[in-house]
């Protein structure tokens, strides 16, 4: 049976569930109140990302049932994604110490690596680098960084949602051209789960994603990238290129704040996208700008890697160079000036 009929179902479930979560948040005062570290100015319900988690994880096993996804990989995605979402949900409703959150994140990463795939051999300009047993160590670091940077980048209306949708749809298209069509379904499911939420999160947002949703997206996207790379190592570079806006902004900001001696675990609003939204005055333009970069700049470069017209590392350097310049232009990691 074709999995196409599940696509509208996952969208509708996410759409309706987000509305229910919004009403629940309003009725129980689960509201994000603006403060000096916020990028928004209007009190807004939070926790809507749970709709993405539930709609995706609820229907994902059907891909295995119909033979589109190995059961072990489904177990890995459900276990790691569910654990990270639960940690984020509890943190959204109270507070979990950073050390316990990090421990939970690493346990989820190890679960994903065990069931889905560890960091594969990578090709650098024609030379293969095999990490051996260290692939699990570096793979865990990669997964944990991806889930946390996604959390960092969820700071303005619609941004994290649009990033996930454009990256997942791009990956699905490139799977077709790159000869791994069997992997198309999981990113398609995730894209439509996020699309249902985006209806309520599009600028101006009526509900925020929360840590449960952003962390979940980060760990699932990282795991999907390793899943693809296990079949064909070039797809690791494809995913890292597609996720370039988030990776560059978050990493550039973190490094600059570390050098300055800031407490990097404290909330801030010094990412390039946050400076840009304040300078431009609207979240919408920044969110649409990121979508445009993903489709017009990063997707074509990732395509050249997928069809083996361009070396993955070279394409990565080409893709990231203007992104680094943009991050610098918008003062990513710079000192915040409260107005």
Render pLDDT for 102-143 as a digit per residue (tens, 0 to 9): 999 999 999 999 999 877 777 776 677 777 778 888 999 999
pTM of the model: 0.94
- Please tell me what DSSP assigns to residue 128: E
Q: What is the pLDDT of residues 12-44, one digit of tens each?
A: 999 999 999 999 999 987 887 765 555 666 788
Nearest Cα neighbor of 74 from 83, 63, 82 is: 63
User: What's the sign of the alpha-carbon dihedral 145, 147, 152, 156?
Assistant: positive
What is residue 8's three-state secondary structure? helix
CA torsion 303-308-312-317 (nearest 10°) is -60
| C-alpha 195: how far from chain center | 14
Tell me the pairing of strands 122-124 and 44-45: unpaired
pLDDT of 148 reads 94
* CB-CB neighbours of 266 under 10 Å: 9
pLDDT for residue 136: 86
- What are the residue ranges in the chain where pLDDT is below 70? 1, 34-41, 125-126, 337-339
What phi and psi, each to the nearest 5 degrees, are found at residue 156? Answer: -135, 165
Dist. CA 103–CA 72, nearest whole Å: 23
Place of tokens 């680098």: 129
Q: What are phi and psi of 160, to 5 degrees?
A: -65, -35
Query: How many residues make up the chain in this entry?
Result: 339
């Amino acid at each position: 049976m074709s999995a196409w009929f599940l696509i509208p179902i996952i969208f509708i479930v996410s759409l309706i569930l987000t509305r229910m979560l919004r009403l629940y948040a309003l009725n129980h005062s689960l509201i994000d109140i603006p403060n000096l570290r916020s990028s928004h100015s209007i009190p807004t319900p939070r926790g809507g990302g749970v709709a993405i988690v539930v709609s995706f994880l609820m229907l994902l096993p059907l891909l295995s049932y119909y033979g589109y996804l190995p059961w072990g990989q489904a177990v890995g995605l459900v276990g790691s994604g569910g654990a990270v979402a639960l940690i984020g949900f509890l943190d959204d409703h109270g507070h979990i110490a950073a050390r316990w959150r990090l421990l939970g994140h690493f346990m989820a990463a190890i679960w994903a690596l065990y069931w889905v795939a560890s960091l594969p051999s990578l090709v650098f300009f024609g030379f293969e680098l095999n990490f051996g047993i260290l692939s699990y160590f570096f793979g865990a670091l990669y997964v944990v960084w991806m889930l946390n940077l996604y959390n960092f980048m969820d700071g303005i209306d619609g941004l994290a949602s649009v990033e996930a949708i454009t990256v997942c749809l791009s990956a699905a298209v490139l799977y077709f051209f790159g000869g791994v069509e069997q992997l198309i379904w999981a990113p398609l499911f995730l894209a439509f789960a996020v699309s249902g939420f985006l209806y309520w999160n599009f600028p101006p947002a009526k509900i925020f994603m929360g840590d449960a949703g952003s962390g979940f997206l980060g760990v699932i996207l990282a795991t999907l990238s390793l899943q693809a790379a296990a079949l064909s190592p070039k797809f690791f570079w494809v995913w890292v290129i597609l996720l370039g806006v988030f990776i560059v902004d978050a990493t550039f900001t973190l490094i600059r704040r570390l050098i300055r001696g800031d407490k990097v675990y404290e909330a801030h609003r010094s990412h390039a996208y946050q400076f840009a939204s304040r300078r431009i005055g609207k979240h919408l333009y920044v969110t649409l700008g990121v979508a445009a970069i993903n489709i017009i700049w990063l997707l074509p470069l990732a395509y050249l890697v997928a069809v083996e017209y361009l070396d993955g590392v070279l394409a990565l350097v080409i893709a990231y160079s203007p992104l680094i310049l943009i991050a610098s232009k918008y003062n990513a990691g710079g000192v915040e000036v409260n107005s």
